[in-house]
């Protein structure tokens, strides 16, 4: 199938994360079409906007924006009409709904969602904790962690841990190695949610082979042997079942999807823990 391309301009007075996520989520629904992204963060002055407009004029396409300054919005809309580039203020429909429901007008504050509040510092604390307790470095008191991820090598424990930390959860992860016994504290904890990450042996072998290739290491080992990996996965399933730890198959899941499933499990776990 031949693939077509279009220019997607994302203009933000903040970091641009909202626009990037919205643009990619929408574009992903169209097969055979790819967006050439042009991201312009922290656009807060007329001079900055004029530079953006010159880029749009050079490569017309769709323009999504999250600006709150009405003068900048008017200028961008005018320039895009001249180039035939459709525009959409991504936050406008949400603001309209909130204004109607709350009966109040919003205050134009660029980047207001990134204020240095308690939630922000909670995420920083969680990130520091997670980085310090990666790949088997469990805290002395395991209940310092909100979540502990366990699984054989190459089941995305580290990137999932970092994603969860960015959502404010202190996350440790522990590799399951056939000859390595579990720390007694891990099996005994009740406060921390322990989740087993599993994947198909084929998927794990593929990732491990790529890993060894990047390291220019010998791939003639049990580490990438299909039968040995299948035994590892089976053993990890049995271990999680024994301890009644929930498992998530990450074979066809993105990091975001895995993290979303873990967040659901964590909410249920916290309710049960508080109830007891």
Over residues 89-135, the pLDDT tens digits come to 998 898 888 889 888 776 666 656 555 567 888 889 999 999 999 99
Q: What pLDDT is stored for residue 109 in this prediction?
A: 65
Q: b/e map of 225-247 (b: 16 or more CB within 10 Å)?
A: beeebeebbeebeebbeeeebeb
On whether 151 is known to bind a ligand per the annotation, the reply is yes
The reply to whether 132 and 94 lie within a common domain is no
On whether 160 is known to bind a ligand per the annotation, the reply is no
- Using a cut of 0.95, tell me whether the model's pTM lies above it: no
pLDDT exceeds cutoff 70 at 211: yes
Nearest-angstrom CA–CA distance, 144 and 155: 23
On whether 272 is known to bind a ligand per the annotation, the reply is no
The reply to whether 91 and 157 lie within a common domain is no
The reply to whether 249 and 127 lie within a common domain is yes
The reply to whether 102 and 153 lie within a common domain is no
The residue with greater pLDDT, 98 or 52, is: 52
Q: Identify the domain boundary among 93, 113, 133.
A: 113
The reply to whether 100 and 164 lie within a common domain is no
Give me the percent of the chain exceeding a pLDDT of 70: 95
- Tokens found for residue 65: 């924006």
On whether 155 is known to bind a ligand per the annotation, the reply is yes
Q: What pLDDT is stored for residue 87 in this prediction?
A: 97
Q: What pLDDT is stored for residue 224 in this prediction?
A: 92
Compute the average pLDDT of residues 257-267.
95
> How many domains does one find in the chain?
2
On whether 156 is known to bind a ligand per the annotation, the reply is yes
Q: What pLDDT is stored for residue 108 in this prediction?
A: 64
Q: What pLDDT is stored for residue 275 in this prediction?
A: 78
């Amino acid at each position: 199938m031949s693939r077509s391309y279009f220019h997607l301009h994302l203009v933000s007075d903040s970091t641009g994360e909202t626009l990037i996520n919205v643009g990619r989520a929408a574009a992903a629904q169209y097969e055979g079409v790819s967006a050439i992204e042009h991201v312009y963060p922290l656009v807060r002055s007329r001079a900055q906007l004029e530079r953006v407009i010159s880029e749009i004029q050079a490569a017309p396409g769709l323009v999504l924006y999250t600006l709150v300054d009405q003068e900048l919005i008017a200028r961008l809309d005018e320039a895009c009409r001249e180039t035939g580039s459709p525009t959409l203020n991504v936050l406008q429909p949400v603001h309209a709904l909130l204004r109607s429901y709350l009966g109040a007008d919003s205050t134009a504050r660029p980047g207001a969602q990134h204020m240095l509040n308690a939630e922000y510092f909670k995420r920083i604390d969680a990130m520091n904790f997670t980085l310090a307790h990666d790949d088997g470095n469990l805290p002395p008191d395991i209940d310092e962690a909100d979540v502990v991820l366990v699984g054989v090598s190459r089941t995305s424990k580290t990137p999932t841990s970092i994603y969860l930390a960015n959502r404010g959860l202190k996350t440790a992860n522990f590799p399951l190695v056939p000859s390595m016994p579990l720390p007694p504290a891990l099996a005994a904890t009740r406060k921390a949610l322990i989740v087993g990450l599993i994947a198909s042996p084929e998927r794990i072998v593929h990732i491990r082979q790529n890993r060894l290739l990047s390291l220019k290491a010998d791939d003639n080992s049990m580490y990438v042997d299909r039968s040995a990996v299948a035994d590892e996965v089976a053993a990890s399933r049995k271990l999680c079942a024994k301890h009644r730890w929930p498992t998530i198959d990450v074979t066809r899941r993105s990091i975001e999807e895995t993290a979303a499933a873990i967040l659901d499990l964590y909410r249920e776990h916290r309710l049960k823990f508080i109830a007891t």
